[in-house]
Structure 1
């Protein structure tokens, strides 16, 4: 039991959760489909204000707040590609940016969702490493990819180019729809590869059309912890709301 007692809890989930708190889809943990996350959290933290949200949504929220932006899109590159958007300071719930179809001709990598051509199918960490292994002819750990990129190895850049292209296409499409002030590229893969965000930004600039500036592309100010900071924001906001409603 915590002393002092926990007053609010925020949780970031890489899953689709309905408003009642039940998991409707979680490709990485299919056995958790149907789990009542809300009830479990309330049982774990009795008396606390509890709130949960998609990890991409809360990462976008945290990065927007850190940047002082009222609107933002976020793409987090790790074991998958999560994403979210913030408009007028509020998360745009259900924005699955990692599942935007950006390559209709793709047939080499199938996304976890079952489709070909998703951003995640091209840009997730595992997809990048599989591509690197095919190009190099042997398994490539993440550290090997990082070293290869630093050494200027052609296979390393070639493994990353489809990821950069997919992310740039996603940022461009989201920019046309939402007109965000900033586009943030985060996640563990991004944080571990110097120059990753700059490569995406260069491609986004190449997609710009006359009279319409693309969003400012930047690395995550919170590094690989954007979702964690976003969960804390959720907890703070839920606590404030509970205090107002009594």
Structure 2
């Protein structure tokens, strides 16, 4: 859709297989959708080719705006990769060839003169879900191939852009637990992620289990499926309770492809949170995520508007 008069923000959500771009107008009350584009990365993972494709798609999107990038107040970028303070990729399993790539400097070259802020995609999903829920203090846990998440305090990311991400998936909750991808044992990710739960289900069943088989078994009340999912939910609940002792969130939100795809998963997490919460302390309510697969993009735009535009009031 062409935009006849324009002042606003650009959001970029860089994923391992695809990228989402969205331009929003500045209404003064938070962003309103204006234009959007999504594309997939080529399969070979060549950094130079990837950046060239990203630059081309950005030019295409911005060409639909009068004045191109001149009307942008700022850009928010959601990153799944581990980056240093300068925006150089340290590690990224989704695109291993990107290690050592100066990603944020490359984005600055694509968008000269436009202010830019970036953060972890899980943190930005937390920011978006907090606003969708109307809460200023939220812990978000995204359960998929890994476990990501973030903490929002007083309507803003904690600890904040440039200070690292909240690696909730790497909280150690069981020192005798399985080895995590990070090399340690007992991380939430190694216990609660989709692959970890499927491995546990296969061990209990004595046969391979895929996601469809797990959810089918769960609906049928098969003990192996129920026990595998309950163990996952219990591990996630330990993370919620631990974070709650420090940050006092008003809500825990469970998202991610696995977290929203398993029937009743958030309710199971909530039950374990109630069981594990210290006596005399109100348990943190747990709810399923309200936004879809583009929550990180929503968060990137919200972060840009908070950083470079009119202050968006934090919800109560």
Q: What root-mean-square deviation, in Å, do the aligned CA atoms of Structure 1 and Structure 2 show?
A: 1.9
Supply the distance in 2 between the matched residues of 1:91 and 1:217 (Cα, whole angstroms): 19
Supply the distance in 2 between the matched residues of 1:229 and 1:24 (Cα, whole angstroms): 25
- So what's the TM-score if we normalise by structure 2? 0.71
Structure 2 residue 174 is matched with structure 1 residue 99: no
Q: How many residues align?
A: 239
Q: Which residue of 1 aligns with 2:48?
A: none
Aligned match for 1:175, one of 216, 241, 244: 244
Structure 2 residue 214 is matched with structure 1 residue 145: yes
Shift of 1:54: 0.5
Q: Which residue of 2 aligns with 1:74?
A: 140
Structure 2 residue 295 is matched with structure 1 residue 226: yes
Supply the distance in 1 between the matched residues of 2:294 and 2:206 (Cα, whole angstroms): 33
Aligned match for 2:83, one of 14, 17, 28: 17
Shift of 1:35: 1.7
Query: Which is richer in strand?
Result: 2
Supply the distance in 2 between the matched residues of 1:147 and 1:10 (Cα, whole angstroms): 39
Q: Which residue of 2 aligns with 1:236?
A: 305
Matches within 5 A, 1:10-49: 10-49=76-115
Shift of 1:239: 4.5
Supply the distance in 2 between the matched residues of 1:238 and 1:38 (Cα, whole angstroms): 17
SS of residue in 1 equivalent to 2:294: helix
Supply the distance in 1 between the matched residues of 2:100 and 2:154 (Cα, whole angstroms): 32
SS of residue in 2 equivalent to 1:56: helix
Q: Which residue of 2 aligns with 1:205?
A: 274
**Maintained 8 Å contact 1:12/1:53:** yes
**Alpha-carbon displacement from aligned partner over 1:60-107 (angstroms, at most 9, x marks no partner):** 11111112211111110011000110111111143111100000111x
Matches within 5 A, 1:54-73: 54-73=120-139
Q: Which residue of 1 aligns with 2:265?
A: 196
- So what's the TM-score if we normalise by structure 1? 0.89
For residues 167 and 96 of structure 1, do their structure 2 counterparts lie closer, same or farther at Cα, with a shift above 3 Å needed? Answer: same
Greater RCO (CA < 8 Å, at least 6 residues apart) = 1
Q: Which residue of 2 aligns with 1:244?
A: none
**Alpha-carbon displacement from aligned partner over 1:25-58 (angstroms, at most 9, x marks no partner):** 3344443232211112223334543322101111
Q: Which runs of 5+ in 2 are unaligned?
A: 1-58, 160-164, 311-316
**Maintained 8 Å contact 1:123/1:162:** yes
Supply the distance in 1 between the matched residues of 2:253 and 2:87 (Cα, whole angstroms): 28
Supply the distance in 2 between the matched residues of 1:164 and 1:111 (Cα, whole angstroms): 17
**Alpha-carbon displacement from aligned partner over 1:97-124 (angstroms, at most 9, x marks no partner):** 1100000111xx3111111100000111
Query: Which is richer in helix?
Result: 1
